[in-house]
Chain A
Amino acid sequence: MRTPRVAGRICYLRRPMADARISLEQVLHVAKLARLTLSEQEAREMQEQLDAILRYMEGLDTLDVSEVPPTFHSIPMLAPLRPDVPARCSDRSEILAQAPDSQWGGFAVPLVLEVE
């Protein structure tokens, strides 16, 4: 059985996925892009599930759609414009009340820049 390395530690696949449509490395890369963390167990499960879904989706390859335009929106419409009329916006304190942390009238976040 292959023993791919994940996050510096060895993990064992339940079955070899040599012909997997998505590799474990890709799963971990996509998780990073999506700002998600997956445990080794979760990453392996995710790989198996995505592999099954992607295999099913290969059915789309039976269609030649190179000449077919895409439908990004089902109902054709132009971006509408509305009159530029001033209106009341939401109350700041009401919005900040929903924030996990707020200070001085703004959202508080962990340090982004190192302070000398």
Chain B
Amino acid sequence: MPDFPWQSAFEIREQVVSGAASAVDMARAYLHRAEALNSTLRCFLTLDYEGALASAAQVDRARRDGKDLGPLAGVPVALKDNLCTRGLRTTCASKILEGYVPPYDAHVVDALRAAGAIILGKTNLDEFAMGSSNENSAFGNVHNPWDLNRAPGGSSGGSACATAAGLTALALGSDTGGSVRQPAAFCGITAIKPTYGRVSRYGLVAFASSLDQVGPMARSVREAAQLLEVIAGHDPRDATSAERETGAYLAACDRGVRGLRIGVVRDLLEGLQDVDVRSAVEAALGALEKAGAVLVDVSLPHADHAVSVYYLIATAEASSNLARFDGIRYGLRVQGEDLAETYTKTRAQGFGPEVRRRIMLGTYALSAGYYDAFYLKAQRVRTLIRRDYDAAFERCDVVCTPTTPTAAFALGEKTSDPLQMYLADIFTLPPSLAGVAALSTPCGRSRDGLPIGLQLVAPPFEEERLCTVAQAVEDTSGLGDAHPAALA
């Protein structure tokens, strides 16, 4: 069994349930490690000693009383700081919410507590989950644990970094256009973007409501599958929560890929500039074929338009969602001469540059005279992207692409050019727009030793398939138990 801190969620639970270790000691060990490494990595915005130790003590007490312990009993989990936690500040990495303490827990937080998980704290992100590098946080950027000069990805960069660096066993992020998958790829872990509606958005601070989903992040496919099983399911508090039975994601990991048809987007693969990414993906496809999967060519002819479509729809929805931050009911207020000036001063000082840029773009796309040309047109092209997947899934069970065009880029490399940053999302955006299920799992390393992620995409509500294929990738990738060297 791997030693602390690299033990799996299953091993941690087993130790706690058997009494070999107490949940309190376990929580304390992770909190201390997180505290010690956070000055280097900056992945946590808040560490909740008090809350974590109280939850852990509760688990230990339940064990002594002989009660049934949940599937994540004693397992440390980190939460992206856009998930509301009762009594624990939730900032969205924005100055406008710097001191905000929610009066309620998000649905996924309820589910974690019921499963016995220990919430260690809140992780850093791009402000309001808008970004692909975590450099848009108002409270400092996160570092990639594999190379501190590189970006951890975004927007769930803090959750990905904390998991990859062994500061927690599990984490939750949110994914609007790739925000769990891209940082997972950059940090060498697994993350799932569930089908839209699979996981309740209740208590997730809204960015783009037709795209947002909460997603599990973990160092192994099985752990991510287990975490999805805990958070998935219908919740009447989210009107878009699907009334579907939760799948057997953990069991699906052991089904094997024999006979499964894997869709390969050949022109996309051949157009890849980065040879490391291309060869890692090709190796993974080869291994899947060897394990009994059947490779079939598919095409996504409209995927090239995904960046334009996404950055019109997501910004339009964001401009509307973020109208609520006006300095009246919560968060920052910068008092002006009158009410209107109070709004503008509060928003000008409270929002960072990328959030302002997206509000501007979204407001423009929705404004009189431009709605048809931009917003409505984007929604029509979104239909074409969705139809691409419908057609692909007539020929295959899972579509396979790289998660990102390159491995982790350098900090500062793309900050001066927003469009270049947006283009880094090219592969994760189409599944988000189509609302389908997607997953990223490590499939290789670049020559610089940086992780490379493989993206798997399945039809709506077929997350089990993703787990089956991802487990086969994990079993054959030969990556083993490698961890960021500097932090081992």
Contact = CB atoms under 8 A, between A and B. Distances in A.
Contacts of A59: 304-305, 308
B339 to A, nearest CB: 5
Main secondary structure of the interface of A (DSSP, over half): loop
B10 interface: no
Contacts of B382: 70-71, 74
B444 interface: no
A60 interface: yes
A68 interface: yes
A80 B239 contact: yes
A8 to B, nearest CB: 17
B109 to A, nearest CB: 16
A36 B361 contact: no
Given A33-B367, A56-B307, A74-B210, A98 B330 contact: yes
Interface string A26-62: 1100110111111000000010011011001101100
A79 B338 contact: no
Give the one of A63, A69, A107 with max B CB within 10 A.
A63
A70 B210 contact: no
Interface in A58-116: 59-60, 63, 65, 68-75, 77, 79-80, 82, 90-91, 94-95, 97-101, 107, 109-112
Contact of A35 (B210, B335, B344): B344
A98 B338 CA distance: 21
A6 interface: no
A110 B363 CA distance: 26
B347 interface: yes
Interface stretch (B19-27, B73-81, B351-359): B351-359
A110 B339 contact: yes
A76 to B, nearest CB: 10
Nearest to A93: B103
B215 interface: no
Nearest to B197: A75
A88 to B, nearest CB: 11
A28 to B, nearest CB: 10
Interface residues of B, number: 72
Contacts of A17: none
B331 A100 contact: yes
B391 interface: no
Contacts of A107: 328-329
Given A73-B210, A98-B100, A33 B460 contact: no
Main secondary structure of the interface of B (DSSP, over half): helix
Interface stretch (B59-67, B135-143, B292-300, B371-379): B371-379
A64 to B, nearest CB: 10
Contact of A110 (B100, B338, B418): B338
Contacts of A22: 364
A90 B104 contact: yes
A71 B435 CA distance: 10
B311 A99 contact: no
A36 B376 contact: no
Interface residues of A, number: 48
Contacts of B434: 74
Given A65-B377, A68-B384, A110-B335, A31 B360 contact: yes
A22 B369 CA distance: 13
Nearest to B387: A68
B330 A99 contact: yes
Contacts of A33: 363, 367
Contact of A112 (B197, B331, B339, B383): B339
Given A53-B361, A59-B308, A75-B460, A36 B351 contact: yes
A26 B357 contact: no
B449 interface: no
Contact of A65 (B331, B333, B381, B435): B381
Nearest to A62: B305
B103 A91 contact: yes
A50 B361 contact: yes
A33 B434 CA distance: 30
A84 B363 CA distance: 36
Nearest to A95: B103
B386 interface: yes
Nearest to A55: B419
B343 interface: yes
B336 interface: yes
Contacts of A100: 327-328, 330-333
B107 to A, nearest CB: 15
A35 B337 CA distance: 15
Contacts of B376: 70
B344 A109 contact: no
Nearest to B360: A30
Contacts of A90: 103-104
B477 to A, nearest CB: 31
19 contacts: A35-B326, A35-B343, A38-B348, A46-B360, A49-B418, A53-B419, A57-B374, A59-B305, A68-B380, A68-B381, A68-B383, A71-B379, A73-B435, A74-B435, A75-B197, A77-B197, A100-B333, A109-B342, A110-B337
Interface of A: 22, 26-27, 30-31, 33-38, 46, 49-50, 52-53, 56-57, 59-60, 63, 65, 68-75, 77, 79-80, 82, 90-91, 94-95, 97-101, 107, 109-112
